[in-house]
Amino acid sequence: MTLESKIPAGDIATKWTQYKSTVPLVNPANKRQLEIIVVGTGLAGASAAATLAEMGYKVKAFCFQDSPRRAHSIAAQGGINAAKNYQNDGDSVYRLFYDTIKGGDYRAREANVHRLAECSTSIIDQCVAQGVPFAREYGGTLSNRSFGGTQVQRTFYAAGQTGQQLLLGAYSGLERQVGLGNVKMYARHEMIEVVKIDGKARGIIARNLVTGELERHFGHAVLLCTGGYGNVFYLSTNAMGSNVTAAWKAHKAGAYFGNPCFTQIHPTCIPVSGHYQSKLTLMSESLRNDGRIWVPKKQNDDRHPNDIPEDERDYYLERRYPAFGNLVPRDIASRAAKERCDAGYGVGQSKMAVYLDFKYNMMQKYGRTEASKLNIANPDDETLIRLGKEVIKEKYGNLFDMYKQITDEDPYEVPMRIYPAVHYTMGGLWVDYDLMTNVPGMYALGEANFSDHGANRLGASALMQGLADGYFVIPITIGNYLSKEIHTKPISTDHEAFVAAEKAANDRIQQLMSIHGTRSVESYHRELGLIMWNKCGMARNEKGLKEAIAEIQALRADFYKNVRIPGSINEFNPELDKAGRVADFLELGELMCIDALNRNESCGGHFREEYQTEEGEAMRDDENYMYVAAWENKGDTWELHKEELKYENIKIQQRSYK
Amino acid sequence: MSKLMKLNLKVWRQKNTNSAGNFEEYKVDASPDMSFLEMFDVLNEQLIETGKEPVAFDHDCREGICGMCSMVIDGRPHGPKQGVTTCQLHMRSFNDGDTITVEPWRADGFPVIKDLTVNRSAFDRIIAAGGFISTNAGNAVDANSVLIPKDVADEAFEAATCIGCGACVSACKNASAMLFVGAKVTQLSKLPQGKPERETRVVAMVNQMDAEGFGACTNTGACAAECPKQIPLSVIANLNREYIGAKMNGK
Amino acid sequence: MKLLSFLFTSSIGRKVLMAVTGLSLVAFLLVHAGINACIFFNDGGETFNHAAEFMAHNWLIRSAEIGLFLGLLLHIVQGLSLTASNNQKRSSKYGASAGNANSKWYSRSMGILGSLLLIFLVMHLKHFWVVSRFTDAIQETAGSTLFDEMVVVFADPLPVFVYVIGCISLAYHLLHGFQSAFQSLGINHPAYSPIIKSIGAGFSIIVPLVFAAMPIAMHLGWIK
């Protein structure tokens, strides 16, 4: 099977507009006869479900949480990009497109990214109309800030809770449709199997997590909006429940998995403090607007950070990347932190941390401005700190509180200690321009697909993609498929394909429950995470990846012999839910290593130690690897398919932020 | 590594919605740097290792924003510390040797599913009844075409930070959901975009709230005192005002 | 009437009715306390009797009294039924109590405080109101005036005790109720609410204190 990305012909700037006006449509009467299943209710899922229901389709939405409002999009902090150019600083759709492609280290699809940049402006309009309380200036206009990898201010935000506000907006739209009877909502349900009939996706098997019952659901199309798989690393900034299961079942049912090894390690997270740790907490990238990252110039310097004088501090990002400084993209900032810590300059008890220091900007940037507003000439340091602290508090108060809560240290007084942590996965199900996987009728939206961020995602772009896909892309592109399905009558869930899919799902559950081993699910997950982090994490090499593959295979075999799942099937049993998810991670982990091993280059978040410049920067191999690696599952092995990437509108060069 | 604390736990165990529950006692060693939920992870691993059934509790993001975690700790939702959720509560807020009682949210509007897990779908139904602005994707005008004064935007935002955890209901002696409903009504009625349907919205939401079996507010202030996002009591006054206005207008 | 039906059917409406009737009772208390305070002229009840006479025979006051009684009745019935229905919203009770960590005990005890007040009120009405309004029998039973009646009633320590308990209940009932009524009516403003709360607190202390001072003073013979 060849991969057809189905990118419409024409000039990149008008391609999407033209496509929108020529794509086949479904008339309103027919829409009411068509059923769409949406799995996941984060930004992509909630916005898609709401919008499709507004258009007249019959929608069924599923989420594993107790309410659609709890999807992990809610935890996104910093902001959402849009090429509004409200700041008059030279922003444009093209610039956002360019920044995103470059930020992704030239491994994203041009046409999709341009469309994303085009949709970005409408997203802000839509969210404001819904009542999302974005931050505003005194004049009543919207406020913006900067994020990594860009030189304009195009990030819209709502304090440090932008994801929450955007998701609640989409959720309110979704609930409105639930109230109107256009969406049927299934909370505490997990999709555990795809139903395919004549090669097309026709439904899912979902497990009611409260009763344990398996349910069959038919749909003319199935949309997977199930987020990323960062939890394969056990410790990540993802929610505890975030999982790959729905996407993985789709993959096993024939959908190709694109660039699985492209993982984003976020540079500013609170470091690990103990073995019992269950998750890592992000400190928003927006903090890098005002925080300066440094380590001591001396190795193993045990002095208190406030006792280390200015000239003994190494502001290594500003030193290495003077043009972007502390606002380099995430992959670069993360690697630089790891480099310093590995070289013995790390700080804190574990020595696996660097400082993020607000004192300079607190005093010199905000303190001085405020002092000048108050007509204080020659303010002393104390005054500057006092005045600057108020501004910092207003901008980042909730993040500072969160930091203090977790570490018991006051970041207004002492620099934050931060270290990179797994945050986002650029890889995901392979999709074409319509966001359809290679299985007809099955779509993947948001983080669950691979398409827009290449090998590294820029900050404030995930929210943008999720909402673009849900509000503005899928409502148009799905017509291309469903317009041909108007004669398909709803298929009875007694159809043999449903029966077979349910049996397969049931067999898997029975198998897990009959192991009766001795080790907890959690312990396997933790062990898998360690393998992944050490050998398929921020830096990878051939030897390590090969070892990892063997170790994962062994761990998986052990899992099916020794795992202990308490309780029974037909009840609320979170351990069983977790077991199913970890079983899928144990397969995905192997594929990620295989993909990382295959890609003999360094690009974005994928850093192969063998392929770096003398200065330690990622060295791409455009000649051999400028493609999307789309993996087809063949039982225990995988077959690689390649989608060549063509750059017709952007000149490819070595990514430089110096 | 900080010293481990020895804790006695009294945890509510209930097989399912229809069965009666009871407290069971456990001992667990915890580090002061653990979160309360990580302490429960440790307890659960112990239980699984010894062939017992782990305690079912809701949790997801573990950074205080999803609103899923929901334990009443020593009589107080999300524990003794103000402005945090259970997942953000660290064991350093307790002392070595403490006995800690842990229960589910208790309210007829939130039936127990199992142990410490409750069903909060009533909140979703309240939102579905009216907690939205009726606008379809594609209808919006330019975001800066409606100017919103900063203080109005800030006020709406403050109300909008509600995470829908239900601590307000669980803290209230009447199991009233008015802080939750008030927060949403306040957010949407303050903003110019939300004004056109403010009357129908508040009436629909209050009707649904009453139908779900939540009590009436008697202004004890327990909800706001326990709210992990510190939503102020003024949102309930605002809800009352909106509701009275709508009713007096014949809505 | 349909317009006002929400006052009896919805959770917020019922609270609004509590607030409106409560505030009208607050107004009554002010007048009542003012007139009663006339005894402190210590003129053998002359000023007081004069005022009481006026209240008992002015037709405007008498008609307002009907409204007041209706309000009182609504406040009692609604209060009892609201408390009962609120108490039914949590079938399974908590094993551990938060104590006063998140709210004041008297805010949580309005039903009990109100019931205590009701018991007191029955006794109080029997002592004075029934006598002054419906019988011309004051002369025959006790003395010649309402003041004389007070002297007789408060000679006995038991009613004095009950009245003091009633006044304490009233104080706490008002301490919560006064400011709570404004909140129920939707009045909560960063500038004005602190003022309302201060006035409420002052009112809740001063008015019951004035009331309690009467039986005590009379019992101890300070007022003759």
Residue A200 domain-assigned? no
Residue of A168, A231, A472, A521 best to disrupt the B interface, most CBs of B under 10 A: A168
Residue A650 confidence (pLDDT) above 90: yes
% of chain A surpassing 70 pLDDT = 100
Q: Which residue of B has its CA nearest to A133?
A: B157
Residues of A in contact with B128 (CB under 8 A): 175-176, 178-179
* A330 tagged catalytic: yes
> What Å distances lie between residue A290 and A81, A269, A309, CA to CA?
19, 16, 20
Mean pLDDT over A495-503 rounds to: 98
Nearest to C103 among B207, B217, B225 (CB): B225
Which chains does chain C touch, 3 or more C-beta pairs < 8 A? B
Can you give the pLDDT at residue A656?
A: 83
Mean pLDDT over A433-443 rounds to: 98
Contact C101 B236 (CB under 8 A): no
Task: Give the model's confidence band at C142: pLDDT under 50 very low, under 70 low, under 90 confident, else very high.
Answer: very low
Residue A40 domain-assigned? no
| Residue A234 sits at the chain B interface (C-beta within 8 Å) | no
Q: Would you mind telling me the total number of residues written for chain A in this entry?
A: 658
Contact B153 A136 (CB under 8 A): yes
Interface of A with B in 157-216 (CB under 8 A): 158-159, 161, 163-165, 168, 171-173, 175-176, 178-179, 185, 187, 210
Chains C and B touch (3+ CB pairs under 8 A): yes
| Residue A155 sits at the chain B interface (C-beta within 8 Å) | no
3 state DSSP class of A112? helix
Mean pLDDT over A143-165 rounds to: 91
Residue A74: CB atoms within 10 A of its CB come to 28
In whole angstroms, what is the distance from residue A579 CA to residue B6 CA? Answer: 30
Nearest to B41 among A130, A165, A278 (CB): A278
Mean pLDDT over A57-83 rounds to: 96
Domain ranges of chain B: 5-114, 120-248
Residue C195 domain-assigned? yes
How would you label B67-94 residue by residue, b for 16+ Cβ within 10 Å and e otherwise? bbbbbbbbbbbbbebeebbbbbbbbeeb
> What is the per-residue DSSP string for A210-243?
TT--EEEEE-SEEEE-----GGGGSSSSS-TT--
Domain containing residue C150: 10-85+105-219
Residue C41 confidence (pLDDT) above 50: yes
Topology (CATH) of B5-114 = Ubiquitin-like (UB roll) (3.10.20)
Residues of B in contact with A469 (CB under 8 A): none
| Residue B18 sits at the chain C interface (C-beta within 8 Å) | no
Residue C41 domain-assigned? yes
> What Å distances lie between residue C30 and A92, A218, C23, C117, C208, CA to CA?
68, 70, 11, 17, 10
User: Do A431 and A448 meet the contact criterion of CB atoms below 8 Å apart?
Assistant: no
State the Rg of chain A over Cα: 24
Structure-block tokens of residue A391: 């501004």
Residue A582 domain-assigned? yes
pLDDT tens-place string over residues A168-220: 999 999 999 999 999 999 999 999 999 999 999 999 999 999 999 999 999 99
Task: Give the model's confidence band at C49: pLDDT under 50 very low, under 70 low, under 90 confident, else very high.
Answer: confident
A656 against C88, higher pLDDT = C88
Contact B222 C103 (CB under 8 A): yes
| Residue A122 sits at the chain B interface (C-beta within 8 Å) | yes
Structure-block tokens of residue A445: 């939206």
Residue A532 sits in a domain whose CATH number is 1.20.58.100
Q: A564 pairs with which residues across the strands?
A: A520
Q: Return the half-sphere exposure (C-beta side, CA atoms, 13 A cut-off) of residue B18.
A: 2
Residue B52 confidence (pLDDT) above 90: yes
Residue A47 confidence (pLDDT) above 50: yes
Task: Give the model's confidence band at C140: pLDDT under 50 very low, under 70 low, under 90 confident, else very high.
Answer: very low
Residue A193 domain-assigned? no
In whole angstroms, what is the distance from residue A388 CA to residue A379 CA? Answer: 12
How would you label C184-201 residue by residue, b for 16+ Cβ within 10 Å and e otherwise? bbbbbeeeebeebeeebe
Start-to-end C-alpha separation, chain A: 42
Residue A494 confidence (pLDDT) above 80: yes
| Residue B86 sits at the chain A interface (C-beta within 8 Å) | no
3 state DSSP class of A618? strand
Q: How far is B121 from chain A (nearest CA, A)?
A: 7
3 state DSSP class of A39? strand
Structure-block tokens of residue B160: 């909008």
Residue A169 domain-assigned? no
Q: Which residue type sits at B193? A: Q
| Helical residues (DSSP H) of A237-287, grouped into ranges | 245-252
Can you give the pLDDT at residue C127?
A: 85
Structure-block tokens of residue A481: 């498929």
Contact A130 B68 (CB under 8 A): no
Among the three residues A407, A422, A437, which one is the final residue of a domain in this structure?
Answer: A422
Residue B187 confidence (pLDDT) above 50: yes
Mean pLDDT over A357-364 rounds to: 94
Q: Return the half-sphere exposure (C-beta side, CA atoms, 13 A cut-off) of residue A101.
A: 26
Contact A69 B119 (CB under 8 A): no
> What Å distances lie between residue C46 and A23, C55, C137, C142, C150, CA to CA?
96, 14, 19, 17, 13
Can you give the pLDDT at residue C58?
A: 85
Task: Give the model's confidence band at C136: pLDDT under 50 very low, under 70 low, under 90 confident, else very high.
Answer: low
Cβ–Cβ pairs < 8 A, chains A and B: 219
Residue C190 confidence (pLDDT) above 60: yes
Residue A622 confidence (pLDDT) above 90: yes
Can you give the pLDDT at residue A499?
A: 98
Can you give the pLDDT at residue C133?
A: 64
Residue A288 sits in a domain whose CATH number is 3.90.700.10
Can you give the pLDDT at residue C57?
A: 82
% of chain C surpassing 90 pLDDT = 68
β-pairing, A200-208 vs A442-444, is unpaired
Can you give the pLDDT at residue A147?
A: 85
Angle, helices A521-535/A542-562, rounded to nearest 10 degrees: 170
Residue C3 domain-assigned? no
Structure-block tokens of residue A302: 């045990």
In whole angstroms, what is the distance from residue C2 CA to residue A457 CA? Answer: 59
Q: Which positions ≥6 away from C135 have C-beta within 8 Å?
A: C141
Residues of C in contact with B233 (CB under 8 A): 183, 188
Residues A511 and A391 placed together within one structural domain of the fold: no
In whole angstroms, what is the distance from residue A103 CA to residue A655 CA? Answer: 8
Residues A506 and A403 placed together within one structural domain of the fold: no
Give me chain A's average pLDDT, please.
Answer: 96
Contact B244 C12 (CB under 8 A): yes
Domain containing residue A541: 497-625
> What Å distances lie between residue C40 and C37, C142, C159, C220, CA to CA?
6, 21, 20, 13
Active-site residue (options: A70, A154, A288, A330): A330
Q: How far is B176 from chain C (nearest CA, A)?
A: 8
User: Do C45 and C39 meet the contact criterion of CB atoms below 8 Å apart?
Assistant: yes
Residues A279 and A415 placed together within one structural domain of the fold: yes
User: Do A183 and A53 meet the contact criterion of CB atoms below 8 Å apart?
Assistant: yes
Can you give the pLDDT at residue C147?
A: 85
Q: Which of A196, A212, A189 is nearest to A249 (CA)?
A: A196
Residue A462 domain-assigned? no
Residue A452 confidence (pLDDT) above 60: yes
Residues of A in contact with B58 (CB under 8 A): 66
Task: Give the model's confidence band at C62: pLDDT under 50 very low, under 70 low, under 90 confident, else very high.
Answer: confident
Task: Give the model's confidence band at A480: pLDDT under 50 very low, under 70 low, under 90 confident, else very high.
Answer: very high
CB neighbour class for B166 (10 Å; exposed up to 12, middle 13-18, buried from 19): buried
Contact A566 B53 (CB under 8 A): yes
- Residue A300 zone, left/alpha/beta (φ > 0; ψ -120 to 50; rest): left
Residue A306 domain-assigned? yes
Residue A655 confidence (pLDDT) above 90: no
% of chain B surpassing 90 pLDDT = 97
State the Rg of chain C over Cα: 19
Residues of B in contact with C96 (CB under 8 A): 10, 72, 74-75, 101, 103
Contact B220 C188 (CB under 8 A): no
Topology (CATH) of B120-248 = Fumarate Reductase Iron-sulfur Protein; Chain B, domain 2 (1.10.1060)
How is the beta sheet containing A637-644 ordered, strand by strand? A428-429, A257-258, A627-634, A637-644
Give me chain C's average pLDDT, please.
Answer: 90
Backbone angles phi, psi at A413, to 5 degrees: -105, -40
In whole angstroms, what is the distance from residue A149 CA to residue A326 CA? Answer: 10
Residues A298 and A392 placed together within one structural domain of the fold: yes
Q: Which of A565, A555, A561 is nearest to A527 (CA)?
A: A555
Nearest to B175 among C14, C90, C183 (CB): C90
Contact C95 B210 (CB under 8 A): no
Can you give the pLDDT at residue C137?
A: 47
User: Do B218 and B131 meet the contact criterion of CB atoms below 8 Å apart?
Assistant: no
Structure-block tokens of residue A58: 């019959």
| Residue B251 sits at the chain C interface (C-beta within 8 Å) | no
Instruction: Provide the sign of the torsion angle of the four alpha carbons A119, A121, A125, A128, taken in this order.
Output: positive
Residues of A in contact with B138 (CB under 8 A): 122, 126, 472
Q: Which positions ≥6 away from A457 have C-beta within 8 Å?
A: A103, A104, A264, A330, A424, A426
The structural domain count of chain A equals: 2
Residue C99 domain-assigned? no
| Residue A471 sits at the chain B interface (C-beta within 8 Å) | yes
Can you give the pLDDT at residue C146?
A: 80
Contact C101 B76 (CB under 8 A): yes
Chains C and A touch (3+ CB pairs under 8 A): no
Backbone angles phi, psi at B22, to 5 degrees: -155, 165
User: Do A471 and A43 meet the contact criterion of CB atoms below 8 Å apart?
Assistant: no
Can you give the pLDDT at residue C1?
A: 67
Residues A408 and A526 placed together within one structural domain of the fold: no
- Residue C221 zone, left/alpha/beta (φ > 0; ψ -120 to 50; rest): left
Residue A580 confidence (pLDDT) above 90: yes
Contact B218 C86 (CB under 8 A): yes
Mean pLDDT over C90-116 rounds to: 95
Residues A418 and A270 placed together within one structural domain of the fold: yes
% of chain A surpassing 90 pLDDT = 93
Angle, helices A474-482/A43-55, rounded to nearest 10 degrees: 60
Q: Which of A642, A648, A610, A614 is nearest to A628 (CA)?
A: A642
Can you give the pLDDT at residue C132?
A: 65
The structural domain count of chain C equals: 1
- Residue tagged 């998701």 (tokens): A167
